[in-house]
Structure 1
Amino acid sequence: MPKNQKIFAILENSLIALHGLILILVIGQDQIQLPSFLEVVGRMHPLLLHFPIVMLFLAALLFWFPDALGANMKIALKGLLLSALFFTGITVLAGLFLSVEDGYVKEDFENHQWTGLLVFWLGTLWYWFWAKEKLAVAKGLSLVVLALVLATGHLGASLTHGEDFLFAPLKSESDLPQVSFEEALAFDHVIKPILDQKCISCHKAGKVKGDLRMDEVQYILKGGEMGPAIDMQDLENSQILIHILYPLEDEFHMPPKGKPQLTETELALIQSWILDSAHFDKKLTAYSPESEFIALAKEKFAGQESKTYTFKAANVKTIAELNNDYRKVVTTYPNSPGLSVTFFGKNQFDPNTIDDLKKVKEQVVELNFQNMPLKDNDLQKIANYPNLEVLNLNFTGIEGNTLTELQNLQNLKHLSLSGNPLSEAAFESLKEFDQLKDLFVWTNKNADAISSLKAALPNTRVEGGFQDNGTLYQLNAPQIEFDKSIFTDKIAVSLKHPIGSVNIFYTLDNTMPDSSNHQVYSGPISLDQNTTLRARAFADGWLGSTEKQAVFFRSKIQPDSYNLVHPPHQSYKGAGALTLFDLEKGDEDFATGKWLGFQDTPFEIQMDFKSPQSIQNIAFSTLAAEGSYIFPPSKVEVWIKTQNTDWKLVDTQKPEQPTGNRDRMLQMYESKINQSDVTAVKAKLTPVNPLPKWHPGAGGKGWVFIDEILIN
């Protein structure tokens, strides 16, 4: 037998053996335990697959153009096609070995696996029909095999490099989902696209390298074999940060060398986002304008939303002089000459301060007066800003009788007038504002007034609130307005809703307001004790709103001295024990320095009084943010000491624990004391340990965060 015939026979017999072995592996894939040396073979799959791809395409070229090699074509084609099928079988075999390793989920690679198997099986049939000189069938099979090679390659590339890797360059930016800066979420629209492009290919369902998935928030919080991907207790030592900051040559650097790397901007975005508490549900507009993260995030949206202006930028010194505690002046986007101005502090607002902006009237393109008390004649001042594009006058109290003053603002595109008692004259004036793209006029006006306005402005999106078409819609939650949440004597609290005709139900005992349990709001509520106010809006033809909640604290007695038994965690130490008595309420951002955090030790404090005090109660202001491992305390204990007695336990509470992640919320735990000769108080709040089974950090330690102690 000629030498080449012996080689062909060996290859043919090898194909038969490979088919049998592959069939056994496919059937018993879920039960196979591989020895280490076969795992090595499996990991050669990416190396081996290039051989059969090239060979199959060369074989097809010879098959379709047989005259290329003349008389030797048949021998060359036979050798090339058999070799291609042999390496295809070896590659499939290695892929099957690789698939049974830990870290792969079958459902996520089975399409790639089956197309690869079909390449091998149909390729063998292609060879068989060609050898039997059934050329018509062989030609059809050759085309199918080549198409399957492309499909298999595409699916394999998606597994390795991310979804739709092969065709991603063909997509334009306009094909991608767009969202405005105002609506964008920090994680969903800034951080997640980076992770999707640079990290998900190795850390997703079906390919969980290092036991870490990054395709869902819950898995990011859970972390992997190296620890928490984002360590809410120690942000600087989050594993994501550690690994992306390793030198490129380091074996622990991520993404691995050879994979697409993070750009400097992407690296800075991830780093600044994590160090700014890694908010997963926070809007970009909720960040401080001075935040490093928000400055970088604005760059991302600058190309999408910024525009070219003909006017020059204002002097930097002038902008700085215009900024104060009640007014913020910033550029709309980095390097843009356009300025955005927002006013704060309803009680301190003076309409005459609008005139201060005359120095930059050419540059002001956005003005936000929401909740500021304006009068109709103040609109004349606003009419002096020729390049104004966005004007927010929500809840300013204007009736709109002088809206005609703004008609000459031809660049005005977005006007918000919700929550104002707009007059009929105002609605008539608005019909002339045909330059607007968006007009928001949520008021208690009837449907006819809104419909007439929509008809007069066919090219403007007019949002006029609820229109009854038989469908029930849910009301927005009411607004709770107050000066400070901590007070020493009394505080007045107001409830408002943009739809003036609704009824606002509220409770002061921390129960849910509903049709059978409520007080009806009729005017400012006077509070003189610790109170959790919960409010909802109701109206005929609407579904009841979600609730709005606020916690108010009365602090009438201050200890003369106090001492923490255990220091707070280094990352959340605030100003030490002083933080608890500074009457400065922390918000839902626990990294502001207004909170004390405890994890490894309980929060435990002793408070002493130089002279005996008559104390009715003591309250502890805490935070719950289960997604960040911050839980209600597992136990609250309070002891008192009097002139005549030693320490006595007066209250023990075991707060109800959540059964799933909730939105961040402020909570208060109050203990009744009712003792007249108290010389000292001791309190202990114990963190949850272990975390419940439903939590990504199950088995670990929870946190207790506290920002104020109120004694009355």
Structure 2
Amino acid sequence: MKIKKLVAASLLPLNILLFFLLVFSSRLVVPSWLQVIGRMHPLILHFPIVLVLLYVAWQLFASENLKSHQWYKDVTDILLLAAALSAAVTALMGLFLSREPGYDSDAIAWHKWLGASTSFVLYAFYSFRLKIERGGLFSYASALSIAVLIAIASHLGANITHGENFVLAPVTPDKKKQVAPLEDAVVYADLVQPILQAKCMGCHNSSKAKGELVMDTKELLLKGGKNGKLWDSGRADLGLMMHRIHLPEEEKEHMPPAGKPQLSIEEMSILYAWIKGGSLFDKRVIDLPEKDTLRVLATKVLKQSADEQYDFAAADEKQIQKLTNNNRIISQVAIGSPALVVNFYNKPFYDSKQLEELKPLENQVVELNLENMGVKDEDLKIISRFKNLRKLNLNFTAVTGKTLGELKNLQFLKSLSLSGTTVKSGDLTALTSLPKLKTVYLWNTSVVSKDAEYLASKNKNISFQTGFKGDTVVLKLTPPIFQNEQPIITAQPLPLELKQYVNGTTIRYTLDGKDPDSVNSPVYDKNVVLKEDVTVRAKAFKPGWISSDIIQEHFFKTTYVADSAVLVTRPDARYKGAGAKTLIDLDKSDLNAGSGKWLGYKDSNMVAVMMYNKPVEAKNVTISLLKDINGYIFPPVRAEIWGGTDEKNMALLSRIEPKQPEKTETERINISVSCDFKPTTVKCLKIVLVPIAKLPEWHGGKGSKGWIFVDEVFVN
């Protein structure tokens, strides 16, 4: 009883203090020890909510007979008193928390006043409980009003912590953004922004700007927070955001924070590819090259044209196989779909008969790729028979545009590519009557921006993309790109595949580690083949243009691919790749630690055994690794290679201690550890990699364990 009186007596000074701090909250300076108390607000706020709801239920559903007992009245008083006390303490803690950086005072004003009002009302309710509880219907209404008040305050608090409409979102699906079709999607709005909204904006919004970072708009996103801009596509590690994402989850600076929903591998890959590609906000997905990483990811996330409900029957499978050859590949848009895609290859073997032969499939073909083929104006009459065509690529063909009117029968055509042709703007008016057409690509043609504007006025639903033209502007070339699917040389020499999309560009390269120049370095052509481990550096040149930046790729040689592999020690559950197969599948990962193609070790050595069905004579093992100093990913401090005829009979073949990075090495790069030894006949190889036990003193995580990331082992 004394405790009850003491608690009741404390309600008045607590609420007076709460009111005083609330009125003068703008001048409130919270010392560090009070910040600790303030941060307990999310921990105890559930107590007043539960206690109020219990009190309301106790009042509403108790029978009159039960209410006549003294013990019922005692329990009622205790519930109400506990609710009033916990509400006052919770409101005070919330005030202390609100003074920390990152909270918008305007956004949380309603939450503060409603939370404090809940405390005031509960205090008044407890003080006059005897009169109120005798009020019959009034007492019920009063109890319900408290429940409504605390529910609204809690809802506003949830919005601040978890984002707008957090509580009601599951029952208001009509407000959720619909997934865009692939052909209409914008990279940022439909791929990147949904990830930020789901995983980042709960703490980085106009109401709760942790680290002074707000992601609500493009401008605020580009501005960054107190730690600087979020990304820098010129850096190998792409800057702050990717660094924080790839930190170990237990690290304080890892984002999203531990305990919050984490980014999936697919989401990390989308962010990585978007930043690496220049973080463009208005770029459309279909404007990306078909093999672009971001476009490939988009096909998994967005609705594709394959999702269309086609009203035609599938073609005979035998007919498809009969018409498919090395120069004309026919495939389904998606498994189970009747729609077909036809790609033509090898220009010297093309003639119009190859189009004529597709007559049995003219109802099923929805995409036709004739880029760089010898297509002529008269061939458009044949193409017009493919009445269900959605996408037509005539880039760099002999089409002049005189017969574009033949395409009027293509009522479903959405995309037409005419880049690199001799079409004239006057010929393009024939396209403006096509009802479904959305985009016409006209790069490297005589059509200029004014022509495109005129054509667009004829049909505002069509975008005529002419590209950039500026005779007085000196532009810098974009770097060439490596088109080899994998940088791995096996038994056969590997043709080097480089490409630059600007016409008239010369690509020069080196294989000796030197920078390519415009005079002495060899000119790239398709006859260049790679036979041994080598680093290729390449650069693009064109008269009147600034030469491109240098690109670099290391090509790995492997003579003996293991028949099987076993991981003796398990990798971290978050970075388990494809298991032991990761080491021998000849599938090199990119620099994205979260790509799902890396094996990550921190708490144990990496020990793997590779086996061959037949003996091989080996003299070198090269291990492909990731180095990301900011991400705590270091080279191993020791690498050992063991070999023999079986697992029980292996001898140490090589032991090396790779050089550890210095403070200035901040790039995220692919590295290799090469272990040489005298030629040895083996059927079994064991690889042991030891991660760094303590990061160096100069590192931000000094004393912490370091990671090793491995994706391939090459044996020669």
Q: TM-score range by the shorter chain?
A: 0.5 to 0.7
Equivalent residue in structure 2 for 1:110, among 105, 110, 113: 105
- In the other structure, the counterpart of 1:537 is 540
**Within 2, Cα distance between the matches of 1:345 and 1:697?**
56
**Residue type of the partner of 2:392?**
L
Following superposition of structure 1 onto structure 2, how do residues 291-370 of structure 1 map, counting pairs within 5 Å?
297-298=301-302, 301=303, 312-315=311-314, 327-330=330-333, 339=339, 341=341, 343=343, 361-368=362-369
**Within 1, Cα distance between the matches of 2:499 and 2:618?**
37
**Residue type of the partner of 1:506?**
Y
**Within 1, Cα distance between the matches of 2:502 and 2:535?**
24
**Residue type of the partner of 1:110?**
S
Change (3 A) 1:13 1:710: closer
- In the other structure, the counterpart of 1:463 is 465
Residue 416 of structure 1 pairs with residue 412 of structure 2: no
1:594 shift after superposition: 7.7
**Residue type of the partner of 2:503?**
G
Following superposition of structure 1 onto structure 2, how do residues 389-408 of structure 1 map, counting pairs within 5 Å?
389-394=390-395, 398-401=397-400, 404=403, 407-408=407-408
- In the other structure, the counterpart of 2:502 is 499
Change (3 A) 1:591 1:107: closer
Following superposition of structure 1 onto structure 2, how do residues 183-198 of structure 1 map, counting pairs within 5 Å?
183-184=186-187, 188=192, 191-195=195-199
**TM-score with structure 2 setting the length:** 0.57
1:382 shift after superposition: 3.6
Equivalent residue in structure 1 for 2:478, among 464, 476, 488: 476
- 8 A contact 1:639–1:651 mirrored in 2: no
**Within 1, Cα distance between the matches of 2:484 and 2:39?**
70
- In the other structure, the counterpart of 1:602 is 606
Following superposition of structure 1 onto structure 2, how do residues 207-246 of structure 1 map, counting pairs within 5 Å?
none
Change (3 A) 1:358 1:277: farther
1:537 shift after superposition: 2.4
User: What is the CA deviation profile of residues 33-58 of structure 1, one whole-angstrom value per residue up to 9, with x for unaligned ones?
Assistant: 488999687666768999xxxxxxxx
**Within 2, Cα distance between the matches of 1:639 and 1:344?**
48
- Show structure 1 runs of 5+ residues with no match: 1-9, 51-86, 123-148, 208-214, 232-237, 244-269
- In the other structure, the counterpart of 2:91 is 95
For 2:31, what is the secondary structure of its paired residue? Answer: helix
Change (3 A) 1:341 1:176: closer
Change (3 A) 1:200 1:452: closer
Change (3 A) 1:217 1:657: same
For 2:102, what is the secondary structure of its paired residue? Answer: helix
Change (3 A) 1:153 1:668: closer
Higher mean C-alpha deviation, range 501-510 or range 400-409: 400-409
- 8 A contact 1:605–1:682 mirrored in 2: yes
Change (3 A) 1:161 1:678: closer
| Number of residue-to-residue matches in the alignment | 566
Identity of aligned residues (%): 20
1:417 shift after superposition: 3.9
User: What is the CA deviation profile of residues 405-436 of structure 1, one whole-angstrom value per residue up to 9, with x for unaligned ones?
Assistant: 66333543322244x5x3x3677755643345
**Residue type of the partner of 1:552?**
F
Higher mean C-alpha deviation, range 356-365 or range 431-440: 356-365
**Within 1, Cα distance between the matches of 2:167 and 2:642?**
70
1:709 shift after superposition: 0.5
Higher mean C-alpha deviation, range 184-193 or range 38-47: 38-47
**Within 2, Cα distance between the matches of 1:13 and 1:685?**
64
- In the other structure, the counterpart of 2:232 is none
For 1:108, what is the secondary structure of its paired residue? Answer: coil
Change (3 A) 1:48 1:121: same
**Residue type of the partner of 2:530?**
L
**Within 2, Cα distance between the matches of 1:439 and 1:88?**
68
1:529 shift after superposition: 1.6
**Within 1, Cα distance between the matches of 2:348 and 2:628?**
33
**TM-score with structure 1 setting the length:** 0.57
- 8 A contact 1:486–1:554 mirrored in 2: yes
1:362 shift after superposition: 3.2
**Within 2, Cα distance between the matches of 1:228 and 1:353?**
59
- Show structure 2 runs of 5+ residues with no match: 1-9, 54-82, 118-149, 212-239, 275-284, 645-650
- 8 A contact 2:368–2:393 mirrored in 1: yes
- 8 A contact 1:506–1:513 mirrored in 2: yes
For 1:29, what is the secondary structure of its paired residue? Answer: coil
Residue 433 of structure 1 pairs with residue 435 of structure 2: no
**Within 2, Cα distance between the matches of 1:112 and 1:560?**
61
Equivalent residue in structure 1 for 2:511, among 487, 508, 511: 508
- 8 A contact 2:625–2:709 mirrored in 1: yes
Change (3 A) 1:356 1:330: farther
**Within 2, Cα distance between the matches of 1:626 and 1:647?**
30
Following superposition of structure 1 onto structure 2, how do residues 138-153 of structure 1 map, counting pairs within 5 Å?
none
User: What is the CA deviation profile of residues 245-265 of structure 1, one whole-angstrom value per residue up to 9, with x for unaligned ones?
Assistant: xxxxxxxxxxxxxxxxxxxxx
**Residue type of the partner of 1:521?**
Y
**Within 2, Cα distance between the matches of 1:500 and 1:360?**
35
Residue 709 of structure 1 pairs with residue 705 of structure 2: no
**Residue type of the partner of 2:103?**
D
1:114 shift after superposition: 5.3
- 8 A contact 2:30–2:99 mirrored in 1: no
- 8 A contact 2:636–2:689 mirrored in 1: yes
**Within 2, Cα distance between the matches of 1:89 and 1:472?**
72
- 8 A contact 1:319–1:329 mirrored in 2: no
Change (3 A) 1:667 1:393: farther
User: What is the CA deviation profile of residues 611-644 of structure 1, one whole-angstrom value per residue up to 9, with x for unaligned ones?
Assistant: 99695x65434456889x79463357477999xx
- 8 A contact 1:222–1:696 mirrored in 2: no
- 8 A contact 1:535–1:548 mirrored in 2: yes
